[in-house]
Amino acid sequence: MLTISSGHSADYLTSAVATGRENYYTGAVVAGEPPGRWYGRGAEALCLSGLVDHQDMTALYEHFVHPADPGFRDPARWGRADTLGHTGRKYLTEEQPAGAALEAEPHADPERRAELRLEAGKRARRNVSFLDLTFSVQKSVTVLHTAFEAQEVQARRTAEQAQADELAARAAGDTGRAERYAYRYTQARTAEASWAAHRAAVEDAIWAGNNAMLDYVQDRAAVSRVGHHGGAAGRYIDTHGLTVASFFQHTSRDNDPQLHIHNAALNRAQGVDGTWRTLDSRGIHKVRPAAAAVAERVMEETLTATLGVVFATRPDGKAREIVGVPATAMDLFSSRRRAITPKLRALVAAFQQRFGREPNGLELTRLAQTANLATRRAKSHDGETAEARLDRVDRQLRTEVGATLADLAQQALAARPEQVTAEAWSETVVIETALAAVQETKAAWTEPDLFRAISDALPDRLGVPPARVPELVGRLTARR
């Protein structure tokens, strides 16, 4: 799934990162997420590469300071530094309307004062700093990754304990026991490396899909607008690409395992005429269905090629999941769904009582969105390390599903076919099926909608190199 939203502050992403961590997995006891990575042709042109530094991102995303300016890394000089075009309109700060509202109600109690501040914050206008293109993977992929990571952590614990026991045995002069612990240590480290490779294969596949999506977007929708578009004088201008800070995150707002990547695409791009302007966000939103299909398909084909797992379309036809990952485990990973469902039922019941009928499809969608917002809470990384999260999930699985993360890891690997073969398919049938699908679901559909439908109509296993997936689906889309 791919969502696109407006972002205003670098802190939203950088605050989740575990500070002082060069390698996220070398210190599993530390809470937090891995640092971001720079990506995109715009980032390359600005000489931004490697890991994202919090101060650099603040300078670029909140002050639009040009990285080539000598004052880029000196906050005291940001106000005088060269910028990437204009720095945005000067809107009132959130504190100003909040102060006015509080003055208007001087006798408000603390609860009312907090409510006034919240309302003022919602009404405050802010410049769009970046577009957040968030790629979230299917639940089965998250389950598989969590199971692999848990086995990696358990093997590391075993190795550390064996090493401590070996040292104690040698200190006691018991060479035989020491040698047995040394052997156990070697075995555990071998297992740790194996599970780490499996976990890394899942992450690499997710990154492959994510970056293929970003390439698709910057090739087709990284444009700016020139002139006044209310009349006939406005036009679009190509840019040199996107500047993106990508952040891999492991959990949802409810601290359930949920693998996703936030891609903060800077709301500035250099046109082919050399001028820096804001992005045309409408063009990026327009290609979202196709970009999402690219991300999912490239990830899936990469994971099949590297780990041998295969995907199959769910009974509801809405996504493909990894064969061998039980639905009961996937459902357990979604406390968010369990929170939304009771709230949605209450909203539907209230609707029926008020209007005397069931809500139609559009009304039900809006009620679901209301339930989503009503039960949503701010994401927090306090109080739970990565290892503690894995232990918690394992306990929940034992209690509610009767399985462990170790069981899930072994089941998924055991479900792999001996040989992965591509399914036979007809281009004509795929195109006709996709056309029927978009015509049935959309009164007015676009080329990206058809691209998505063709991706869905293709067989679960394409049998082509992952890098060729966008070209394959694009060629079929052009044949319509």
The 10s digit of each residue's pLDDT in 147-196 is 999 999 999 999 999 999 999 999 999 999 999 999 999 999 999 999 99
Verify that 295 and 403 share a domain, yes or no: yes
Judge contact between 242 and 214, C-beta under 8 A.
yes
On whether residue 79 sits in a domain, the answer given is yes
Task: Please check the confidence at residue 366 and state whether its pLDDT lies above 80.
Answer: no
Q: Which two tokens stand for residue 103?
A: 């003055």
Domain range for 461 is: 422-480
Instruction: Please give the Cα distance from 457 to 433 (Å, whole number).
Output: 6
Q: Which two tokens stand for residue 301?
A: 């084909």
List, for residues 120-134, the tens digit of each pLDDT value: 555 556 678 899 999
| Phi/psi of residue 201, nearest 5 degrees | -65, -40
CA angle, 394 as apex, 393 and 396 as ends, to 5°?
A: 65
Q: So what's the pLDDT on residue 333?
A: 72
Task: Please check the confidence at residue 292 and state whether its pLDDT lies above 90.
Answer: yes
Verify that 68 and 205 share a domain, yes or no: yes
344-348, 376-380, 381-385: which has the minimum mean pLDDT?
Answer: 376-380
On whether residue 366 sits in a domain, the answer given is no
On whether residue 413 sits in a domain, the answer given is yes
Verify that 384 and 471 share a domain, yes or no: no
Verify that 322 and 445 share a domain, yes or no: no
On whether residue 345 sits in a domain, the answer given is no
Verify that 386 and 466 share a domain, yes or no: no
pLDDT band of residue 375 (cuts 50, 70, 90) is very low
Task: Please check the confidence at residue 142 and state whether its pLDDT lies above 90.
Answer: yes
Verify that 274 and 193 share a domain, yes or no: yes
Q: Mean of the per-residue pLDDT values for the chain?
A: 84
On whether residue 120 sits in a domain, the answer given is no
Burial 263-274 (b: 16+ CB within 10 A, else e): bbbbbbbbbeee
Tokens 């990506």 found at: 39
Instruction: Please give the Cα distance from 384 to 30 (Å, whole number).
Output: 9
| Phi/psi of residue 424, nearest 5 degrees | -75, 140
List, for residues 440-476, the tens digit of each pLDDT value: 888 889 999 999 999 999 999 988 899 999 999 999 9
63-77, 104-118, 179-193: which has the minimum mean pLDDT?
Answer: 104-118
Mean pLDDT within 318-346: 74
Verify that 427 and 413 share a domain, yes or no: no
Verify that 385 and 427 share a domain, yes or no: no
On whether residue 162 sits in a domain, the answer given is yes
| pTM for the structure as a whole | 0.81
- Element of type H or E holding 455: helix 447-457
- The larger pLDDT score, comparing residue 328 to residue 43, is at 43
Verify that 328 and 427 share a domain, yes or no: no
Instruction: Please give the Cα distance from 91 to 434 (Å, whole number).
Output: 46
Instruction: Please give the Cα distance from 44 to 476 (Å, whole number).
Output: 32
On whether residue 392 sits in a domain, the answer given is yes
The percentage of residues in the chain with a pLDDT greater than 90, rounded to a whole number, is 52
On whether residue 274 sits in a domain, the answer given is yes
Verify that 59 and 16 share a domain, yes or no: yes
Verify that 431 and 412 share a domain, yes or no: no
Q: How many domains does the chain have?
A: 2
Task: Please check the confidence at residue 337 and state whether its pLDDT lies above 60.
Answer: no
Domain end call among 371, 402, 420? 420
Verify that 415 and 311 share a domain, yes or no: yes
Per DSSP, the residues of 300-361 read: HHHHHHHH---EEE-TTSS-EEETTS-HHHHHHT-HHHHHHHHHHHHHHHHHHHHHSS---H
Q: So what's the pLDDT on residue 30?
A: 47
